[in-house]
């Protein structure tokens, strides 16, 4: 091939690469968007959001995620190692709860909401074991308890970002990812023993906390109990790279603070949080925090006692 022919070939390859790059839905803006607090928070679309049961979560990711690779840590541990971490934490939590006098949480519905962001990977199975022990302990005494988690359907914005791209990539599109809300135990579903299987292939991606709080609030408000309690377990600030890239760095945190303010300003639902290696007091007025990887059961019982006063857990 002559020199001129080689140059033409390289030029064609470069042009093709540029066209492919410009047509790729997941390419970020060259310059991240500046923060715009004057623009109201809205999802670009909710068409691809999913609510499922814990046993179906892994299949939901396989069926719907555009980019659903698990974190490096999750890929590196076996099912047996996951179950061992779960069982150890579950036993320790059960022993901790057994030392306390138990009584019915009178006319109370309790919602435990778990952050399933990718950063939770190294401690999620221990936390899951404790949550299962707490659920068994409380439902055994006739309490109404719901356990759920929140994350996204994979990385990179998923089908929501694809739809935004094909709509012309409008500026400041709002939340730009597919939400995944996972129900492990619904209200009125007592558990005779801790359940590991629904947590075995737990999805851990991004976290949109503000919308998860409002989702949990709706579930609680449908309950007949006079007292409604929502406790969040989280290890950090809300993050979704696709959303932050196109809307500015504070959109998700601002939405979370707005949701917390709405909940704390109304007496219908009592809100508290447990920080797992993160000081959640920066967001929540009623909270406890533990060091990364440490048990949360004692923090939970102390927080619940503070929130409702007479739980006697």
Does any domain span residue 61? Answer: yes
**Matching residue, tokens 């950063």:** 119
Does any domain span residue 18? Answer: no
Q: How high is the pLDDT of residue 16? A: 55
How far apart are alpha carbons 210 and 273 in whole angstroms? 13
The predicted model scores a pTM of 0.89
- Per-residue pLDDT tens, the chain, 313 aa: give them: 556 666 666 656 555 544 444 555 655 555 688 999 999 999 999 999 999 999 999 999 999 999 999 988 899 999 999 999 999 999 999 999 988 755 568 899 999 999 999 999 999 999 999 999 999 999 988 899 999 999 999 999 999 999 999 999 999 999 999 999 999 999 988 777 899 999 999 999 999 999 999 999 999 999 999 999 999 999 999 999 999 999 999 999 999 999 999 999 988 999 999 999 999 999 999 999 999 999 999 999 999 999 987 544 5
Asked whether 117 and 206 are in contact (CB, 8 A), the reply is yes
Structural domain count of the chain: 1
Stated length of the chain: 313
Q: How high is the pLDDT of residue 309? A: 74
Does any domain span residue 30? Answer: no
Residue 47: CB atoms within 10 Å = 10
| CA angle centred on 206, ends 115 and 194, rounded to 5° | 35
Does any domain span residue 12? Answer: no
How far apart are alpha carbons 256 and 178 in whole angstroms? 17
Fill in the DSSP letter of residue 31. S
Q: How high is the pLDDT of residue 95? A: 95
How far apart are alpha carbons 69 and 204 in whole angstroms? 10
Structural domain span for residue 198: 43-308
How far apart are alpha carbons 235 and 114 in whole angstroms? 10
Does any domain span residue 23? Answer: no
C-alpha count within 13 angstroms, C-beta hemisphere, residue 82: 19
Q: How high is the pLDDT of residue 21? A: 46
Does any domain span residue 7? Answer: no
How far apart are alpha carbons 25 and 96 in whole angstroms? 49
Cite the beta strand spans of 261-308 per DSSP E. 270-276, 287-290
Asked whether 240 and 253 are in contact (CB, 8 A), the reply is no
Does any domain span residue 239? Answer: yes
Does any domain span residue 303? Answer: yes
185: domain CATH number is: 3.40.50.410
Residue 281, CA distances (Å) to 156, 165, 209, 214, 298 in order: 29, 37, 15, 19, 17
């Amino acid at each position: 091939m002559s020199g001129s022919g080689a140059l033409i070939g390289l030029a064609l390859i470069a042009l093709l690469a540029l066209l492919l790059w410009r047509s790729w839905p997941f390419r970020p803006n060259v310059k991240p968007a500046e923060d715009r607090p004057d623009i109201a928070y809205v999802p670009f679309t909710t068409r691809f959001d999913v609510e499922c049961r814990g046993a179906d979560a892994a299949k939901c990711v396989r069926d719907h995620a555009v980019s659903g690779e698990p974190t490096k840590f999750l890929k590196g541990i076996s099912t047996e190692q996951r179950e061992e971490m779960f069982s150890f934490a579950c036993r320790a939590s059960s022993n901790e709860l057994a030392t306390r006098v138990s009584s019915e949480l009178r006319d109370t519905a309790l919602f435990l909401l778990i952050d399933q962001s990718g950063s939770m990977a190294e401690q999620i199975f221990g936390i899951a074991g404790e949550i299962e022990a707490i659920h068994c302990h409380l439902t055994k005494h006739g309490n109404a308890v719901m356990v759920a988690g929140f994350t996204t359907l994979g990385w990179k914005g998923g089908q929501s970002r694809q739809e935004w791209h094909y709509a012309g990539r409008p500026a400041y599109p709002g939340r730009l990812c597919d939400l995944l809300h996972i129900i492990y135990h619904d209200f009125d579903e007592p558990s005779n023993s801790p359940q590991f299987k629904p947590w075995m292939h737990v999805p851990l991606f991004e976290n949109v906390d503000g919308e998860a709080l409002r989702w949990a609030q709706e579930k609680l408000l449908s309950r007949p109990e006079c007292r409604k309690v929502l406790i969040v377990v989280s290890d950090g600030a809300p993050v979704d790279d696709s959303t932050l890239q196109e809307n500015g760095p504070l959109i998700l945190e601002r939405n979370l603070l707005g949701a917390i303010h709405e909940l704390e300003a109304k007496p219908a639902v009592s809100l508290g949080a447990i920080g797992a290696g993160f000081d959640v007091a920066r967001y929540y007025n009623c909270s406890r925090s533990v060091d990364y990887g440490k048990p949360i059961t004692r923090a939970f019982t102390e927080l619940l006692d503070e929130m409702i006063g007479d739980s006697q857990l």
